[in-house]
Structure 1
Amino acid sequence: MNWTHHWRRIALTLFSAGLLALSGWGTVISSAQAAHSTAAGTPVCGTGDHGLLKDLHKKHAQQEEAPFAFSDISFLNSETGRAVGNGFMIGTSDGGCHFQEIYQGQWNFKGISFPDNVHGWAIASIGEGQANYLIASADGGSTWKNISGKATVFDRIDFMDSKNGFAYSRNAVFSTKDSGQSWTEIQTPANTRGAYFSSPSSGWSVVVAPGTGYRVMKTTDGGTTWKLSLQSGITYPTGGEIYAKGNQVYALLYGDSGMSQTSYSLYASSDKGGTWKRVIAQATAGGGPAPGSGSAQLKSGPASGRPGNMQLVGNSTAILVGYSPAGEQVAVGRTVNGGRTWSNLKPIQGFEGTISFPDSKHGWLAVREQDESAVYATADGGSSWKQKFAFKDAGR
């Protein structure tokens, strides 16, 4: 029997069932070994690529395929989470000290949603540049089933639990009550170019109407009726994203892009859209003026670059990742008081990044560079980052 393979399969089974975090299995070094390692000056927590995906990594190099790169990251808490990319998924249950290989195969993951440690959904393709499909896992990500059957129009998915979730395309929203087996389109205003639902009844929409500016609309009855929450008649965005949790609502509005730059504005509301404050208005040489109107706290976002995804925590904390490909920097900006003040934090090296913050202090960042990709962790809300996993010179 191949005992290495045997124990790896046991580890994956435990992880997928959500038991690693409970049993402490992820910490594979005993207390006696840990004391000896510390005394010998050897770090207890692993670094580098942990030897994972070695065979697939070699295959990539031989076939001159794209280097391994992270596309999304999702953490349930400060200890347990997953990171995915082109043909792989890895996970940790001990805060990144050790990582397990969860999946390797045909699926190139674009985005994932894990509401718990067992059930997961993903937008994925077979090969780069191919059609996207909606796939699902009931064992923590070890195996996946194509549940869409045909190519999907979904760009993003967000599941609340094992049954209920939402999916988004550029101008539409869909909901499911049966784990993604069937979907119902939710009525949104005309010219919607970005939306978000935090519950079956509560939703938001960015409406782009050339000649009349933009509007942020709100529904409290599941899309049956929509009311105006924020409006501008000066410059309008090309699209946007809405993030909402509790009393917090943020509208991230995109302007034009060019020269690896994107102009954008970030608006914040701490009273469910009753009042708004313009936090960031970033104009760029390549993207032109920032969309929207009104005075802004800052004329530049994190890393002075393009905006990435955003995470809201509680009723007062919000974190936005930004990245500058030309400047080779990735950073986060944050507020801890509902947008009244905003701080752009110190950047690290990278071309692009995606964040997952399970609480206001602990966060995870997947960074992509030209030939490298890495996962970083923070315990101070993004003020400092420590590398936890890296594919060095991946595939090259």
Structure 2
Amino acid sequence: MNWTQKMYKTTLVLLSVGLLAFSGWGTAASTAQAANAAVPACGSGDHGLLKGLQDKHSGDGSTPLSFSDIQFLNADIGRAAGNGFMIGTSDGGCHFQEIYQGQWSFAQIDFPDNVHGWALASAGDGQAQYLIRTTDGGSTWKRLSNKAVSFERIDFMDSKNGFGYNRASTYYTKDAGLSWSQISTPANTRGAYFSSRNTGWAVVIAPGTGYRVMKTADGGATWHLSLKANFTDPEFGQVYAKGNQVYVVLYGGSGMSQTSYSLYASANMGGSWNRVIAEETAGGGPAPGSGPAQFKSGPASGKPGNLELVGSNTAFLVGFSPAGEKVAVGRSYNGGKQWTNLPAIVGYEGVISFTSNKEGWLAAKGYENSSLYITEDGGATWQLKFTFKVTNQ
């Protein structure tokens, strides 16, 4: 029985208990006993799963387990994956169970619903990444091609339609990843994102000048300037868009475990922009762009990680400082007009998944542990759920 089937069975049990109580069948005592049996108390979420997974990946030169990506569909249902494993929860992290163990080491997972999913993954300790697909919630995976893919990021809108990205190119599929067509993007594109098949954004390098953020409303047929950010040595950027919200991370230089960057936000689909963060570093130099910024440093005063858009006006950005061993989240509840950098936890890298303006998850890597956390206050505080030791001792 796969994970999706188990969740369905659990739902039927809960529904049966609810109907029993509603109809008055049985005594009050028996109804209470059935409810208690069907819905165990919310605990640590471990229940032996952590030890079982670690025991299978310890000693004899085995690579220790480490989280690489997480994704939550709502407050209850989510997954966390890493090197050769995937775990999941259907009750908001009260309990986790093993979904997958096998050859695939996941770099990114993407589930538009609870059944259909895709991942960028390598086989074992290999370097080549493949696009793989599941149709049973993640229990089994199928490689879609014998050839490795150049994608650095995937984003599926539903069970058929999705996008694949690398820094220079954007691709689209309408048959669940079996075939791909390239979307026309401007010359010197170094990062793009499409929020729909027609609406897209591209970060373009203008040699000797800096960054240009371009927008298309006709699927790439024509592009129009939305934002200029002057910079002497542009490299690449990352775009995030949902509804009227658009955020752009423009990267400066890197050095001494430091990265300079600027974060721009728009609450009106690129009609106007606000420079939220302009982080200069000794190792990376100045931040791209000019003009005032709300903050001279981002979350954890470190490198930017992934950004999550929630609802119509909420954004979260994870940042991490390898030298300082800090991971933290910054957030805005009003489309980037105001920003808050929140307290840090221990780690040198992290990835986030938020389902509301309060509820979210963080997978943080440290030099000794890889840990999974939950927040119920928008990243202000984090509760530890899982920790894997990343050293075999």
TM over 0.5: yes
**1-structure distance, mates of 2:286, 2:63:** 35
Q: TM-score of the superposition, structure 1-length normalised? A: 0.90
Corresponding residue for residue 5 of structure 1: none
Deviation at 1:208, TM superposition (A): 1.4
Q: 2:230·2:288 contact (CA, 8 Å) conserved in 1?
A: no
Q: For 1:46-80, what per-residue CA distance to the aligned partner results, in whole angstroms no more than 9, with x for missing partners?
A: 32754226555334322323321111000000111
Distance 1:149 1:253 in 2: 34
Counterparts of 1:287-306 in structure 2 under 5 Å? Answer: 287-306=284-303
2:193 to 196, 199, 212: 196
User: Match of 1:151?
Assistant: 148
The equivalent of 1:3 in structure 2 is none
**For 1:237-316, what aligned pairs fall within 5 Å after superposition?**
237-316=234-313
**Structure 1 range deviating more: 61-70 or 320-329:** 61-70
Q: Distance in 1 between matches of 2:235 and 2:9?
A: 45
Partner secondary structure for residue 49 of structure 2: coil
Question: What SS does structure 2 have at the residue aligned with 1:180?
Answer: coil
Q: What residue number does 1:177 align with?
A: 174
**Which residue among 127, 130, 133 is the counterpart of 1:130?**
127
* 99-108 or 235-244, which deviates more: 235-244
Q: 1:45 aligns with which of 39, 42, 46?
A: 42
Q: Name the SS of the counterpart of 2:59 in structure 1.
A: helix
Does the aligned pair in 1 maintain the 2:112–2:159 contact within 8 Å?
Answer: yes
For 2:72 and 2:11, the matched residues in 1 are separated by 12
Q: How many residues align?
A: 376
CA 1:302–1:291: 2 relative to 1, 3 Å: same
C-alpha separation between the residues in 1 aligned to 2:103 and 2:390? 22
- d(CA) in 1 for partners of 2:12 and 2:253? 47
Cα displacement string for residues 293-351 of structure 1 (whole angstroms, at most 9, x for unaligned residues) = 22111000000011000011122111000011111111100000111110001111111
* Alpha-carbon spacing, 1:298–1:372, altered in 2? closer, same or farther (3 Å): same
Pair 1:13-2:10 in alignment: no
1:211 aligns with 2:208: yes
Superposed counterparts of 1:1-396, under 5 Å: 9=1, 13-15=5-7, 20=10, 32=33, 44-47=41-44, 49-52=46-49, 54=51, 57-392=54-389, 395-396=392-393
Q: Distance in 2 between matches of 1:193 and 1:218?
A: 14
Provide the C-alpha distance between the structure 1 equivalents of 2:107 and 2:259, rounded to a whole number of angstroms.
21
Cα contact 1:21–1:79 (8 A) shared by 2: no
Structure 1 unaligned residues grouped into runs of 5+? 1-8, 37-42
Structure showing greater relative contact order (alpha-carbon pairs closer than 8 Å, 6 or more residues apart): 1
Cα RMSD between the aligned structures?
2.2
Q: Which runs of 5+ in 2 are unaligned?
A: 16-30
The two structures have a TM-score, normalised by structure 2, of: 0.90
Contact map agreement 2:50 2:386 (CA 8 A) in 1? no
Residues in 2 aligned to 1:72 and 1:212: alpha-carbon distance in whole angstroms: 35
Separation (CA, whole Å) in 2 of partners of 1:376 and 1:194? 29
Contact 1:48 1:391 in 2 (8 A): no
Give the Cα separation in 2 of the matches to 1:11 and 1:316.
Answer: 33
